Amino acid sequence: MKEVLARINELRDLINLYNEEYFVTDSPSVPDSEYDGLFAELKKLEQEYPEFKSVDSPTNRVGAKPAAAFAQITHKIPMLSLDNAFSAEDITNFLRRINERLAITEDIIFIAEPKIDGLAVSIVYEDGLLKYAATRGDGATGEDITLNCRAIRDIPLSLQTATPPKLLEVRGEVYLSKARFVALNKQAMLEGEKVFVNPRNAAAGSLRQLDPNITYKRGLSFFAYSLPATTLSTQQASLQQLQEFGFPICNEIKLVTGLSGCQDYCAYLGQKRDSLPYEIDGIVYKVNSIALQQKLGFISRSPRWAIAYKFPAQEAITEVLDVEFQVGRTGILTPVARLKPIFVGGVTVSNATLHNMDEIARKDIRIGDTVVVRRAGDVIPEIVSVVMAKRSAKVQTIVAPQYCPVCKAAAVRVEGEAAIRCMGEISCPAQLKEAIAHFATRRAMDIEGLGDKIIEQLVDSALITNVADLYKLDFTKLINLERMGDKSVQNLLASIENSKQTQFARFLYALGIPEVGVTMANVLAKEFTDLDVLMQVDEARLLTIRDIGPVVANNIYVFLHQKRNIAVIQQLLQAGINWPVVQKSTMLPLSGQVFVLTGGLNKYSRDTAREKLEALGATVSNSVSKKTNFVVAGNDAGSKLDKAKQLGVHVLQEEELIALLIKYNG
C-alpha cells in the first residue's frame, strides 16, 4: 500500500507541474499523450484506492492557478474541463451512461465539433459592449486578458444587434492558424529569436503578452462555441445566436444522432484533419438539448453531457538511439535520427528528420536524449523538442561529418547555407541514384517501373553512370537484374521509349537543377521556348524573370554551364528526347492570369489541370495572394480556399474550370 500511495503522490506532483507548464507558463515539457496517460493512471488508482483520495488532487481541478502577472477574474459560471475518450468503446460507454441517467432508449442528438488546439476564454458583454475577458485558469478564477482579446480581429468589440442583452457571456477558443504559425516561426528564425513548439503554445503565449500590441501583431483567431447562461432550447440555437451577434463559428460543426452519427463524424473529420487551416486534436460531442444538459448535470470537474474524443497522439516520447547522414540528389547531407520505435500518428516511427546541423544546435538534440516526436498525416516525423529533465550524463553530441558517408568525398558546409554538401557530385553513387529517381518521376520524364531497387542495381553494377545511360539500356542488360522478368523488362523499355516524347518544362524539371521545381520549370519553359537560348542566357537576364531571385538565377546559370551537365544534356537529345516547340506568344487567351489549384479534382489530376491552364498562357501558382486571379476549388479544399475568400479572389468550381478549358480549346 505504501508503494501505491507513493505513486499517487508522485503522479499528483508531476501533473501539477505539467499543469503549471501548460496553463500558466505556456512551455509544456511533455506531449498531451504523456500527460493524458499519467492523468488516466492517477484517476484509476484513486478509484481503486478511495482511501487515498484528496480534495486537492489534480483530478478534482480543471487547470492551474492564474499567473501572478495578470489581475484575476472570477467566472460567474465555472469553466469546467471535459472528460476524455480515447477509443470507440469510450464513446459507446459515454452514450450508454447518458441513456441510463435519462432512462431513455432512443438515440440522442449531439452537436459534434472539432476540438481546436488553442486556449479557452470567456468574454463578457454588458449592454452589447465588450466589458472583460478571462482565461479558464483553475476553472473558478482566470487571468484578465481583456486588452489582449480586444486586439484579436475575430472578437467583436460590440454585439451586432440593435437590442443587445443586458449581460452576455461568450465562450470560445483562441487559436493560431497553421499559416500564421509557420510565418511567425519563419520570422523568429530570421531574427534569431526562439521559435514556438506548436500553434497552441504560440496562441497561449500571444494571448498572455503584457503588451496587447504584440498580441495584435501575432494574428490570432477565434471561434465561439457556447453561451453558458443561454435561455435557448438547444446548443445549435446558441451557435446560431452567436453568429447573429457577429462571432465566427467553426464551419465544421454538425448535428449528429446516436453512436452511428458520432462514428461517421469521427471518420469524416479524421480524413479532413490535415487539410484544415487550424490544428485540432480531437472532437467534442455535446448533447444538443439544453434541457437534457440540465438533467444530466455535472461531476466535480466536467459536465456529464459532453466528452472530448482525443485523436491518436501525433506526438509521443521516445529515445534517440543514433544519428545517420543521408545523401540527396543535390549532395545535401541530411541528418536522420534513428529512434527507439514508438507508435505515433497511427504508425510505428523509428526514424525522424533532423533537417540540418543548425536545427540540431537550436533544439540541442543529442544521441541518447529523450525527445518529443511529432507526426502529422503523411508528414515526415520530426523531433519537436528534448525532454531536458530526462537527459543523462551519457548523451553524445552530434558531430557533422567531414566526409560523405557514401563516396568518402569531402563534406563541406557552403558559406551562407545551413546544409552540408558532398562534393563528389555525379561520382557519388548516392547522388546519382537520387538524380535518376528524380528524373524518372511522374512529373518529370514519367518512366514507370524504374523503382529504387532497380536503380540501385543499375548504379551498383555500373550499367548506368548518368541519366542519359537509361536510354542505352536493352533487354540483355536488364533481364539479369533481380525481380526483372521478360514482361517487366519489356514494360520498362517501352516506358523509357515513350518518355522521349515529352514537354520542355518536364525536361527542365527532370534535369534536377537546384531550386527549380515544377512551377519554376514552367516559368522557364514559357520564357525560353528554345533550349539553346536558355543555355546561353546570363544571370542578369534570368533576374528579369518573375519569381527568379539571385540564388535561383545562379543555380540555373551554373548548372547549365558545367561541362559534365552540358555533355549529359547533349546525350539525352541525341538519344531522341524531344518536345513540341511552342512559339512564345502574349496572345494566348489566359496570358497574365494567375490560377491556384486546391482540393481534389474529379475529371483531371492536378498536374493535368495545371498543364492545360499553362498551355493557354496561364500561370499556376502554389500560393494565394492579391495577385491571384482565380482559385479552382476541388473536393476538400482547405486553407487556400479560405485565403481566397478573405482576399476576395474569384473562386471557380471544377465545372467552371472545365467550361473554361472547353471554351478556349474548342
What are the residue numbers of the active site? 115
Rounded distance between C-alpha atoms, residue 326 and residue 645, angstroms: 42
Which cell numbers in the block locate residue 282? 480531437
Residue 583 has phi, psi (to 5 degrees) of: -70, 130
C-alpha angle 434/435/436, rounded to 5°? Answer: 90
SS3 37: helix
Residue in the block written with cell 538534440: 365
Residues in CB range of 329: below 8 A, 6 or more apart: 431, 434, 435, 437, 438, 512
- What letter would DSSP give residue 234? B
Give the CA dihedral 611, 617, 622, 628, nearest 10 degrees: -140
One-letter amino acid identity for 556? I
Longest dimension (CA), the chain: 87
Amino acid sitting at position 83: D
Task: Identify whether the C-beta of residue 83 lies closer than 8 Å to the C-beta of residue 93.
Answer: no
Cell 486534436 appears where? 281
CA pair distance 388, 365, nearest whole angstrom? 10
Collapsing DSSP states into helix, strand and coil, what is residue 175? strand
Q: DSSP characters for 438-450?
A: HHHSTTTT--TT-
Rounded to 5°, angle at Cα 71 from 65 and 75 = 65
* C-alpha to C-alpha distance for 144 and 125, rounded to whole angstroms: 14
Question: What SS3 state is found at 179?
Answer: helix
Compute CA distances 19 → 13, 260, 300, 321, 520, whole Å: 10, 35, 17, 30, 48
Sequence-separated (6 or more) residues with CB below 8 Å from residue 422: 327, 331, 333, 404, 406, 407, 409, 410, 411, 428, 430, 431
